[in-house]
Amino acid sequence: MRHAVVLAGGSGTRLWPASRQARPKQLLPLGVGGETLLESAIRRGQAVAGTRVIVVTAASQVAATREVVPGVELIAEPLARNTAAALGLAAAVLLERDRDAVLTVLPADQHVADEPGLTRILHTALAAVEQDDVISTIGISPTHPETGFGYLEVDYVALGIVTSVRRFVEKPDRSTAEAYLASGRYLWNAGMFCMSARRLLAELDAHLPATARAVRDIAAGRIAAADVYPTLASISIDHAVMERAKRVVTVPAAVGWDDVGSWAALPALHGVDDHGNTITGQAVLIDGSGNIAISDDETLITMVGVSDVVVVKSGNAILVIPKSRAQDVRKIVEALSVRGLARYL
Amino acid sequence: MRHAVVLAGGSGTRLWPASRQARPKQLLPLGVGGETLLESAIRRGQAVAGTRVIVVTAASQVAATREVVPGVELIAEPLARNTAAALGLAAAVLLERDRDAVLTVLPADQHVADEPGLTRILHTALAAVEQDDVISTIGISPTHPETGFGYLEVDYVALGIVTSVRRFVEKPDRSTAEAYLASGRYLWNAGMFCMSARRLLAELDAHLPATARAVRDIAAGRIAAADVYPTLASISIDHAVMERAKRVVTVPAAVGWDDVGSWAALPALHGVDDHGNTITGQAVLIDGSGNIAISDDETLITMVGVSDVVVVKSGNAILVIPKSRAQDVRKIVEALSVRGLARYL
């Protein structure tokens, strides 16, 4: 049967100060109508797997996650060990109850504008898995020379048509990204894919045997996760499996996908007003455009004479940063640790 | 005897969001060591008048003012009618108890770095008043071609030496201000002056008779201030008296004076750190200089990659504005009125 696995283990720094250690990105009400990104991801999973959606999260985030999605099954990892362990554990747990489990893996911190379009793409990817036991990724048709994503190289791109993946490539530099875009043969690796649970564990047996053994033991109740998890390699499913596996295909998609990697992604989610500004909460912006103003309570944000600047008030902290440097929020997060200001993390 | 009159009737928009209708600029803890500007002004008054310091403020600000300076005598105006009425009322009240009252008038919202220097200057000005019944202003030796102040034209400038004022001039444009600075014959009109109470009322008799009559009636208890104040002309003491009076002198001073007219004045009060930033409260600033970050509580202000920007968190509002546009805070204040957001004023 088809199952969806939503990966919700984010640690929450790139959208600081809204995202915090105790309230990662996917639990923020950033979606349309105030929906959390996690709820959006679960809905995308339900569109292909019905009620068989399972969320993998960190034990430290279980309470906060349950508050947001009380009806959804959770798998709690005692600590984060990247996606190979998380997906291995989910696959092992689901295999215990369904030897024919086919997984649709969905990161919890993404935005998709065209949900019905994505559902059609996922159905195509699942059909390929169910017929040929391939690994079927979703390849996003790139809209600009993004340097923040990995890419999939293919022979040709036809939207919605399954094609083989020649190779996975890491985040490129700017000129490489431009060449990728111009070639028409590269797709963004969105981290969404479909694969049978049995194959996923077989791939881990081959490439990451200690993790494969551990997650099987945990799922069968032979060992406590907390006892073995600290020993597991912290490695992504891409590095551990995808880049080494045979018979990996992709379904090219143009569905308004964004990974909500920084505050600069907000206009794509929420749109802009007549002045090109994106506002959530109370704000008065004068003589400026391209700004993002986000306030999580009744605190009023005012801006005069600045453009392309992000201002976020969330809880006990305020962030002011040019949109072009939105990735550098991590510098603040690092500085807070170093300066003994962890109460703001 | 010598008395000091501190004018504390400010309406509080230029330092929004710290200054509000209910908490004007002079009641903010902007001074060195968290002292309010009003306390600083009172101290300057006490340096020449001992305990005979009286504060003129608006009735709506009496409670807040008394909280800051509980031991100081207040005169409450039922509503603001600019400085001619405020000083007329103070002079009339003081004349009732001291026919020889000599006033030192001090605005409440200014900063003076060299307090002992100012005290010496005021003693010189007072001596001139007491000997010759002149109006003796304090003329600040200009440090830059400021367009935000009025000027006094004199024949020559010698610091601390009394000289005649040829004329009062309004705020100049940039090139005029540069010419004033180059000439060496213009001083900033700081709004500080010394004059006998009797002469002040005599000048009002001559130039603003209705106000003179009203303040005498109020001081003598013949009429309630609330009954007559709304009918009084709203005019400054400069326009009503100083510009028309004979025998006006000035004492040129170089005492680190600033009128704290906008957030851009804060570095002059508080200095800058190694990166040229001025910080009050919790803040972490990365990759930027010339910024001003002010937080009135534990809320952390963070800034990455911006320079010469003012960020103020005060109460329920946040302001982000380039330092060069600090005067445009009024645009926010106006917009808040228009948009029905008066709860932020």
Q: How many CB pairs under 8 A join A and B?
A: 117
Give DSSP secondary structure letters for B195-209: EEHHHHHHHHHHH-H
Which chain B residues are within 8 Å of A20, Cβ to Cβ?
Answer: none
| Chain B residues in contact with chain A using a Cβ-Cβ cutoff of 8 Å | 17, 282, 284, 286-287, 295, 298-306, 309, 311, 313, 316-322, 325, 328-329, 331-332, 335-336, 339, 341, 344
Do B325 and A304 make contact, defined as CB atoms within 8 angstroms?
yes
Q: Which residue of B has its CA nearest to A297?
A: B316
Which chain B residues are within 8 Å of A303, Cβ to Cβ?
Answer: 319-321
Alpha carbon of A290: minimum distance to chain B alpha carbons (Å): 15
pTM score of the predicted model: 0.81
- B12: pLDDT strictly greater than 70: no
Q: Which residue has the tokens 């990365």?
A: B286
Q: Which amino acid is at A167?
A: R
Q: Which of A4-18, A121-135, A228-242, B178-192 has the lowest mean pLDDT?
A: A4-18
Do A321 and B344 make contact, defined as CB atoms within 8 angstroms?
no
What local confidence, expressed as pLDDT, does residue B25 receive? 87
Cis peptide leading into B17, omega within 30 of 0?
yes
Q: What is the mean pLDDT of chain A?
A: 94
Do B304 and A339 make contact, defined as CB atoms within 8 angstroms?
no
Q: What are phi and psi of B340, to 5 degrees?
A: 70, 30
Distance of CA B94 to the CA centre of its chain: 21
Q: Which residue of B has its CA nearest to A300?
A: B317
Q: Where are the beta strands (DSSP E) in chain A?
A: 2-8, 53-58, 73-77, 102-107, 111-112, 135-140, 151-154, 163-169, 186-196, 248-253, 257-258, 278-280, 283-286, 292-295, 300-304, 309-314, 317-322
Q: What is the pLDDT of residues A285-327, one digit of tens each?
A: 999 999 999 998 999 999 999 999 999 999 999 999 999 999 8
Band of residue A270 on the pLDDT scale cut at 50, 70, 90: confident
Q: Give the pLDDT mean for A69-95.
A: 96
| Chain A residues in contact with chain B using a Cβ-Cβ cutoff of 8 Å | 17, 282, 284, 286-287, 295, 298-306, 309, 311, 313, 316-322, 325, 328-329, 331-332, 335-336, 339, 341, 344
Do B299 and A318 make contact, defined as CB atoms within 8 angstroms?
yes
Band of residue A32 on the pLDDT scale cut at 50, 70, 90: confident
Which chain B residues are within 8 Å of A317, Cβ to Cβ?
Answer: 299-302
| Bridge partners, residue B257, by sequence | B112
Tokens of B275: 């990166």
Pairwise CA distance, residues B197 & B343, whole Å: 40
Which chain A residues are within 8 Å of B284, Cβ to Cβ?
Answer: 332, 335-336, 339, 341
Q: What is the pLDDT of residues B209-266, one digit of tens each?
A: 999 999 999 999 999 999 999 999 999 999 999 999 999 999 999 999 998 888 998 9
Q: Which amino acid is at A67?
A: E
Do B303 and A320 make contact, defined as CB atoms within 8 angstroms?
yes
Tokens of A192: 């969404």
Q: Give the pLDDT mean for A43-53.
A: 97
| Helix extents (H) in chain B | 37-49, 62-68, 82-97, 115-132, 174-183, 197-207, 209-219, 225-228, 237, 266-270, 329-338
